[in-house]
Amino acid sequence: MHDPASSRFGDSCLSPEPPAVHAKVLRDELVSAAEWVAQYLNELPQGPVSRPLPPQERSLLREGRLRQRGGEFDSVLDFVRNEIAPYPTGNGHPAFFAWINSPPAPAGIIAELLACAINATCGMGESALMDLERGTVRMLADLAGLPDGAGGVLTSGGSMANLLALATARTWFLTRRGSGTGPDFDRDHARLTLYYSAQAHMSVAKAAACIGLPAHRLRPVATDTHDRLDPAALRAAVTADLDEGLLPFCTVTTLGTTATGAVDPLEPATDLCRSVGMWHHADGAWGGLGAGVPALAPRYAGVGGVDSLTVDPHKTLSVPVGCGALLVPNPEHLHTAFAHQASYLTAGEPDALQWLSHATIELTRPGTRALGLWATLHHLGRDGVTGLIEHYLALADRLRERITAEPRLQLLAGGPWPVACFRITDPDGGDPDALHTRIARRVQDNRRAYLATVAVHDRTVLRAALCNYRTTTDDLELLIREVLHAADAEQSAAGTDQPPQHR
Ligand SMILES: *Cc1c(COP(=O)(O)O)cnc(C)c1O
């Protein structure tokens, strides 16, 4: 109900039009929005996990035709309530087990709203939220087990953090060789080779492509039977490339692989990197904060020795989406890679070189990342972070027990991060990979639970990840039931005479 006449700017402003609104109108809409948010989150577990957008609605959203005259201010809430919220992908619902998509932490939701109002651009200039970002990055580095003095930057997510890491590693490597710029750059850059486990997230290869590495300079390295990077295979690949006259510049280990939750051995990778002058980046988008969790800590021995570490608070900690981080024991490396001067940015600012824009790719950056992260960490405390991860580990243990106890299901890989990969024990006839894809699709279509498939050792398997703090053991039972129902339905559809063995 935009009313220009009653706006604060009504009399004196040359153009009393949107986006300005009267203070009371804004207040009332904020209250309505807050009430809707609380109700939405409260009722979410009772609704279907996901609901696909009908084709007609989808076309309308995609059409993208802007009307000539502006609309009512209060139509924003109506639009979200009616056109967006009814069609969730599912993350947020406690029976959603696909991928690693967490629900938003309540403290983070409030913080994002508040940060939006302040609208600090955490790139140039100095603001309290920039200092808060530096502080929260320190908290993450500390939780991750990095040494004192570590720093870094918040990013939009893990993919962006991995991109920053590879760009930083490249600059570090070439600068040390004296070919960071100048005539030798082309020669050396063309010979850079990158190593990562065959289980690494695809964002690593994507980041490599973005910094200009061709596919034939990428080395996915074999993994052991527990899906961990095999240090002997890594060493062999690096040695072979050195013999060829190539330049191994970076190894990426993964802490919590996306498919099965494996943690690569850190110390052997660091040792190799040190001995041949490579950068060691650890991708801990999911599992980067395991060092402080007693059940996981032994696998994180040596984590303080990595050169950079990706963490994704929007996965592990339920910070609202849009919060990743690149952490580095030596923050100078980021500045070497990303500091660029411009006359329009530095005038009169003695501290300009410390701006966060000099440690990353982005210039204008949202303060919602820092405040949402701070609020979530502040609410959790150190014990809460450990407790949250332990809660997921306990749920995963329970799920694996249930799968093991169920004769028709076979537990495959999974762990130590909280994920279970499993199959139907006896998929009679046909193509078992296609069958598991169809079972996952049926579970999704039934909308009471949601899980996805993943390829493990060249087989398509069902995969359930635990990353929703609202998930209970009842949701685990529901998932098992839904999978068995779907398997029964597939069996009937295949025309076998056997009666369904499960309710
Ligand atoms: C999810 C994930 C990423 C990508 O992070 P985004 O925040 O989705 O960009 C990278 N690496 C691993 C191991 C992941 O699980």
**Domain contains 100:** no
**Domain contains 373:** no
Residue closest by Cα to atom 2 of ligand 1: 285
Tell me if the bond preceding 416 is cis, omega within 30° of 0.
yes
311, 312, 463, best to mutate for ligand 1 pocket (most atoms within 8 Å of CB): 312
Domain span at 11: 6-46+52-87
Same domain (yes/no): 139, 273: yes
**Domain contains 452:** no
Q: How many residues does the chain have?
A: 503
> What count of other Cβ atoms lies within 10 Å of the Cβ of residue 485?
19
Q: Does ligand 1 come within 6 angstroms of the Cβ of 157? A: yes
Q: What is the pLDDT of residue 496?
A: 54
Q: Where are the alpha helices (DSSP H) in 82-157?
A: 106-118, 128-144
**Domain contains 187:** yes
Residue closest by Cα to atom 3 of ligand 1: 158
**Domain contains 115:** no
Number of domains in the chain: 2
Same domain (yes/no): 13, 56: yes
Note the pLDDT tens digit of each residue in 119-160: 988 888 888 999 999 999 999 999 999 999 999 999 999 999
Same domain (yes/no): 153, 19: no
- CA–centroid distance, 196 to ligand 1, in Å, is 14
Q: Does ligand 1 come within 6 angstroms of the Cβ of 258? A: yes
- CA–centroid distance, 496 to ligand 1, in Å, is 41
Same domain (yes/no): 185, 66: no
Q: Does ligand 1 come within 6 angstroms of the Cβ of 208? A: no
- CA–centroid distance, 258 to ligand 1, in Å, is 8
Atom of ligand 1 nearest to the CA of 287: 13
Query: Tokens 């309710």 identify what position?
Result: 503
Atom of ligand 1 nearest to the CA of 160: 9
**Domain contains 501:** no
Q: Does ligand 1 come within 6 angstroms of the Cβ of 203? A: yes
Same domain (yes/no): 169, 73: no
Last residue of a domain, one of 328, 351, 366: 366
| CA–CA dist 127, 55 (Å, integer) | 45
Same domain (yes/no): 159, 298: yes
Residue closest by Cα to atom 10 of ligand 1: 158
Q: Give pLDDT tens digits along the chain (503 positions).
A: 444 444 444 455 555 577 888 999 999 999 999 999 999 999 999 999 999 999 999 999 999 989 898 888 889 999 999 999 999 888 899 999 999 999 999 999 999 999 999 998 888 888 899 999 999 999 999 999 999 999 999 999 999 999 999 999 999 999 999 999 999 999 999 999 999 999 999 999 999 999 999 999 999 999 999 999 999 999 999 999 999 999 999 999 999 999 999 999 999 999 999 999 999 999 999 999 999 999 999 999 999 999 999 999 999 999 999 999 999 999 999 999 998 877 667 656 666 668 899 999 999 999 999 999 999 999 999 999 999 999 999 999 999 999 999 999 999 978 999 999 999 997 777 789 999 999 999 999 999 999 999 999 889 999 999 999 999 999 999 999 999 999 999 988 887 544 444 44
Q: What is the pTM of this model?
A: 0.94
CATH number for position 139: 3.40.640.10
- CA–centroid distance, 396 to ligand 1, in Å, is 20
- CA–centroid distance, 152 to ligand 1, in Å, is 17
Q: Does ligand 1 come within 6 angstroms of the Cβ of 159? A: yes
Q: Does ligand 1 come within 6 angstroms of the Cβ of 368? A: no
Q: Does ligand 1 come within 6 angstroms of the Cβ of 100? A: yes
Same domain (yes/no): 134, 218: yes
- CA–centroid distance, 286 to ligand 1, in Å, is 7
Same domain (yes/no): 60, 189: no
Query: Could you tell me the strand order of the sheet in which 452-456 lies?
Result: 409-411, 419-424, 459-465, 452-456
Atom of ligand 1 nearest to the CA of 200: 13
- CA–centroid distance, 285 to ligand 1, in Å, is 5
Same domain (yes/no): 188, 317: yes
**Domain contains 113:** no
Note the pLDDT tens digit of each residue in 297-337: 999 999 999 999 999 999 999 999 999 999 999 999 999 99
Nearest to 422 by CA among 406, 440, 403: 403
Q: Does ligand 1 come within 6 angstroms of the Cβ of 97? A: no
Same domain (yes/no): 196, 62: no
Last residue of a domain, one of 351, 366, 381: 366
Q: Does ligand 1 come within 6 angstroms of the Cβ of 253? A: no
Q: Does ligand 1 come within 6 angstroms of the Cβ of 285? A: yes
DSSP-derived letter for residue 80 is I
Last residue of a domain, one of 366, 388, 408: 366
| CA–CA dist 399, 418 (Å, integer) | 9
Number of H helices, E strands in the chain: 16, 11
**Domain contains 330:** yes
Q: Where are the alpha helices (DSSP H) in 260-367?
A: 266-276, 313-316, 332-338, 343-346
Same domain (yes/no): 195, 268: yes
- H/E stretch holding 402: helix 368-405
Torsion of CA 59, 65, 68, 70, to 10 degrees: 60
Nearest to 208 by CA among 174, 243, 253, 159: 159
Same domain (yes/no): 136, 81: no
3-state SS string over 181-243?
Answer: CCCHHHHHHCCEEEEEECCCCHHHHHHHHHCCCCHHHEEEECECCCCCECHHHHHHHHHHHHH
Q: Does ligand 1 come within 6 angstroms of the Cβ of 283? A: yes
